[in-house]
Amino acid sequence: MEGWIFERMRRIRTEIEKMFEEFEEAMLRPLADMTHGYLTPLYEVRETEREVIVYVDLPGVYRKEDIDVSVSENKLVVEARMARPVCFGEIPFYESCRFERYYLEIRLPTPVIPERASASFKGKVLEIRLPKRITRYRVKVE
């Protein structure tokens, strides 16, 4: 019995530590990938009772045809091409780098139904609506 509890606590602690590591890594990681020459866009995830809604800021992207969105049950990937390459001047970290596209890959907070996802692009913000995969059970109130 005790062994079972300790094992469960160990798993929870490992999960929490992993979340903190991911968060710290995301904070320290630049919003650009020099190796592959892409920028990471800013994004926001909102949840309603039935949907996960992801907003992605894509300044510099002019046409919806330049945006690719792919969704699986737990993951969203957005790729977009900018109309003009962006340079960040003489800042050493960015020097000699030109960026022409965005790439974003995020883990979704809850499973979704990929085939029912929809997307729109307005004011350089991409809105992706993802219906949640919800299994409901009616609970009898005694």
Partner 1 sequence: MSTSGPKKWEYFELKPLPENLTLIVGIPDVGLVGPIAVTYLIKNLKLELAGYVDSPLLPPVILFHDYQLLTPVRVYGPTDVGEKVAVFFSESAIPPSGLYSLAQFIVTWAASKRVKRLVMVGGVAVPNRMQIEKPKVYVATALEEDRELAKKSGLKLLREGFMGGAYAMLLKECFKRRFPGIALLAESHLHYPDPGAAAAVLEALEPLLGIKVDVAPLLEQEEEIRVKLRELMKRTVESMRGAGKEYEYTIPAMYV
Q: Tell the smallest beta-carbon distance from residue 115 to partner 1 (Å).
A: 25
Q: Which of 22, 128, 21, 18 is nearest to 77 (CA)?
A: 128
Interface of this chain with partner 1, residues 46 to 105, rule: CB under 8 A: 55, 57, 59-60, 86, 88
CB of 93 to partner 1, least distance (A): 10
The closest of 44, 54, 69, 41 to 132, measured between CA atoms, is 54
d(CA 64, CA 84): 15
CB closer to partner 1, 33 vs 57 = 57
d(CA 62, CA 122): 10
43-47 and 67-71: which strand pairing? unpaired
Binding partner 1 (rule: CB under 8 A), the pick from 125, 129, 131, 132 is 125
Q: Which stretch binds partner 1 (CB under 8 A): 14-22, 108-116, 117-125, 133-141?
A: 117-125
In the complex, minimum distance from the CB of residue 33 to partner 1, in angstroms, rounded to a whole number: 13
Closest CA to 132 of 50, 53, 72: 50
- CA 115, 129, 64, 40 torsion-angle sign: negative
Number of residues this chain uses to bind partner 1 (CB under 8 A): 20
* Minimum distance of partner 1 from residue 5's CB (angstroms): 33
Nearest distance from residue 117's CB to partner 1, in Å?
18
Binding site for partner 1 (CB under 8 A): 27, 30-31, 39-44, 55, 57, 59-60, 86, 88, 122-125, 127
